[in-house]
Structure 1
């Protein structure tokens, strides 16, 4: 089983465990139309870690995130999130687990345009039927630099500010694991740096576990570790990665030519 080897993670409780997880789209068996998006992935991530997931297009990155977060059901294998095994749960139970113990951040901010910043952050609590803690939501927004924007609509915010609202929405319920799918993909360099710093802060200061799918070596360099996928299988890992190391590994995996890699094209320094 792949495990974090960082000394700081030694002895930390497990936040996410996958054992021989596979995902086949199509009829399976000998059907030539079947696609094996994940092929026996096994890994273990401790609480309080920041992991980036990278790989060439079609390597299974998004499928891994969706299966790990309970958004999609694997074809086989075991998934345990925050101590809860996902297999065998009804959709209602999975929805409850996602609302109470898992946070989500996506490339598209998914904010409701007719709700204010504060209302968007409070929405998950209302949907879950739990007590709305307005003071906590305001506190989180203030820590993210949005204390003066509580009554603004999403259209009145920059892209970076909208993503910070999405982060606040993900953190306000105090989830144990936060899954982020290309969270900086739609942002400029400065906003991307701010968002990555906030995700790092969520890990360092609040003990959250972050699992981030990204195509950007610079974004991945903010993580404690990077795990690589190729053809639906684990293809290695880097601890305390630099952007150059990640780009070199991605080049070896055939994700891009060395001259066309993001680091070569834009330089390090998100």
Structure 2
């Protein structure tokens, strides 16, 4: 039976940033029905502190992207509790979730999701316009300069490299001053040099801007830029690693894959 998020503890006003950026309590998500049902998340409980950079990793089918979608309010779990920045997401309707995401959450996706007919500057401030918020163009220019695009404000996306497009996506995520930024394979379509630049920018969003970043990735090198790695297997938490290195992450992933195959 599907149960919606609870509403009793949801804040009614903004009292400042919460100590925990993200908390999931016994979150489950199943796709399909009966014999074709697939459990993507199986009672996941997880807490991430504010001002941290966390990578989420696991074998294919482990539930990584589903966790991010549910944590970000882009999809609804079947049961459990999700809190972002101390606010409990509810089943009160898509309009409410949309307002929450626009005010609290930033997104960086593998495919950039830029509008091809808008300039770099216009794409960057688009979330503010959609939310009906005041657009501070000076602040937007400062953010674009900080991500290395100060001389590209009038360029269209097709005049940019892949790495530059992803930098626009990061600037766009930052301009609304979100408490949490969710990144889904943000370097998956980039060459090594561009990927390093983007990962460095994500680190800066935490260390310089004080945001919280949650990044789904399959790449041990990308994960090594994070403060810690949370591993998933079969839709359940499968350990955590602080101070990750590429070799250590790759070894842990190999063991997770072996464990999943052993259970087949």
Which runs of no fewer than 5 residues in structure 1 stay unpaired?
Answer: 1-11, 257-270
CA RMSD in angstroms comes to: 1.2
Does the CA contact (< 8 Å) of 1:16 and 1:82 recur in 2?
A: yes
Do residues 162 (structure 1) and 165 (structure 2) align? yes
* Aligned equivalent of 1:16: 22
Does the CA contact (< 8 Å) of 1:107 and 1:185 recur in 2?
A: yes
Spell out the pairing of 1:147-158 with structure 2 (5 A cutoff).
147-158=150-161
Superimposed CA distance per residue, residues 150-179 of structure 1 (whole angstroms, 9 cap, x where no aligned partner): 000001111100000000000000000000
Spell out the pairing of 1:210-221 with structure 2 (5 A cutoff).
210-221=213-224
Q: 1:235 aligns with which of 208, 219, 238?
A: 238
Does the CA contact (< 8 Å) of 1:55 and 1:255 recur in 2?
A: no
Q: What is the CA distance between 1:255 and its match in structure 2? A: 7.1
Which runs of no fewer than 5 residues in structure 2 stay unpaired?
Answer: 1-17, 260-264
Superimposed CA distance per residue, residues 111-161 of structure 1 (whole angstroms, 9 cap, x where no aligned partner): 111100000001111111111111111110011110100000001111100
* Aligned equivalent of 2:5: none
State which drifts further: 41-50 or 85-94.
85-94
Spell out the pairing of 1:77-156 with structure 2 (5 A cutoff).
77-156=80-159
State which drifts further: 116-125 or 247-256.
247-256
* Aligned equivalent of 1:5: none
* Aligned equivalent of 1:8: none
Once residues 83 and 94 of structure 2 are traced to their aligned partners in structure 1, the CA distance between those partners, rounded to angstroms, is 16
State the aligned residue count.
242
Once residues 24 and 205 of structure 2 are traced to their aligned partners in structure 1, the CA distance between those partners, rounded to angstroms, is 23
Q: 1:40 aligns with which of 25, 40, 43?
A: 43
* Aligned equivalent of 1:268: none
Once residues 94 and 201 of structure 2 are traced to their aligned partners in structure 1, the CA distance between those partners, rounded to angstroms, is 31
SS in 1 for 2:166: helix
Do residues 70 (structure 1) and 73 (structure 2) align? yes
Do residues 245 (structure 1) and 251 (structure 2) align? no
Q: Would you identify which runs of 4 or more consecutive aligned residues in structure 1 move more than 4 Å?
A: none
TM-score computed with the length of structure 1 as normaliser: 0.88
Once residues 47 and 255 of structure 1 are traced to their aligned partners in structure 2, the CA distance between those partners, rounded to angstroms, is 33
* Aligned equivalent of 1:26: 32
* Aligned equivalent of 2:14: none
TM-score computed with the length of structure 2 as normaliser: 0.90
Once residues 172 and 39 of structure 1 are traced to their aligned partners in structure 2, the CA distance between those partners, rounded to angstroms, is 35
Does the CA contact (< 8 Å) of 1:56 and 1:255 recur in 2?
A: no
